[in-house]
Amino acid sequence: MLLLLREHLEIGETGSFDRSRAAGIAGEPNMTASFINLSVFLFAGLFLYFWKRPLAWAGAFASLLGFRGIMVTYSRGGYLGFAAGLLALSFYRSKILFLILLAAAGIAVLKPAYLPAPIRARMEATFEHKAHGEVGLEKSAGDRVLIWRGALRLIREYPVFGTGFDLFEKRVAPFWSGTRPFNAHNAYLMVAAETGIPSLVIFLSLLGLFFKSAQRLMTETKDLQVKGVCLGFLAGLSAFMMQNLYIDSFSWQEVSLYLWVMIAVIGAALAGMNKKVSAEVPS
């Protein structure tokens, strides 16, 4: 995150969001924001369980650095993902805190002036004034809408088995007049378009299973460190899934590898807890 902020300072003010965006370790601003969203909430989760300890405040500082890092990527999906992660973090830790943040989110939507200036400017740039006083989407957002429409047409044409793995770009070409789309810019549409709706259902079911496993571990364990890790994982996965409505970071190994490592850690901890409980039950 420090390297990302350094990159932002080196770029400086350019007067253009595209030229001002820091790419970070993933080499692409949206993917870097996705990586931060996935990882930074671990610090926040541990902080909420150990906030009385001085060292825990280092986790709070790391979380703030992560937020600042997402800001300088100028990733709209990153902003929405971080907001979803914050809401999930508060929901699983304190319903009162959740209601406060939910109210704050509502105020931010109704009164964008309360948002940090870079975020407000980036979100407002989604729309631009066109000829005859009309207001429409700027090119990046407009291209995404066109790609999504193309993906939906592919899903309607190949609902069961999809177009085939790694064939999205080729099959969507007739519905797309821009430059190379690469992917659907939406992980869920990408899965459904290439491998079919049944595969999407299985994929979402697996994500739901990961949520359920982390919730169970957080509820049943007595280890506060494990609780904090589970809380951070739940928030990070929520942020990650939200941002994947706007990009497809599941297919980027630089980002998704970290997700699978965290899932493995949660699974190992849950298996260890189950084994311990079984050993304590008299035969």
Kindly indicate the confidence band of residue 50, based on its pLDDT and cuts at 50, 70 and 90: very high
Tokens 């989110």, residue located: 105
Q: Which residues, at least 6 apart from 203, have a Cβ–Cβ distance to it below 8 Å?
A: 188, 191
DSSP sequence for 106-136? HHHHH-GGGS-HHHHHHHHTTEEE-GGG-EE
pTM comes to 0.88
Amino acid at 148: W
The pLDDT value recorded for residue 24 is 76
pLDDT tens by residue, 237-256: 999 999 999 989 888 888 88
pLDDT tens by residue, 176-209: 666 665 678 899 999 999 999 999 999 999 999 9
Rounded to a whole number of angstroms, the distance between the first and last alpha carbons of the chain is: 52
The pLDDT value recorded for residue 18 is 65
Neighbours of 174 (CB within 10 A): 10
Q: How far apart are CA 123 and CA 111, in angstroms?
A: 13
Question: Considering only CA atoms, which of 220, 158, 155, 214 is closest in space to residue 188?
Answer: 155
Tokens 């931060």, residue located: 36
The pLDDT value recorded for residue 16 is 63
Q: How far apart are CA 230 and CA 215, in angstroms?
A: 7
Neighbours of 98 (CB within 10 A): 17
Amino acid at 217: L
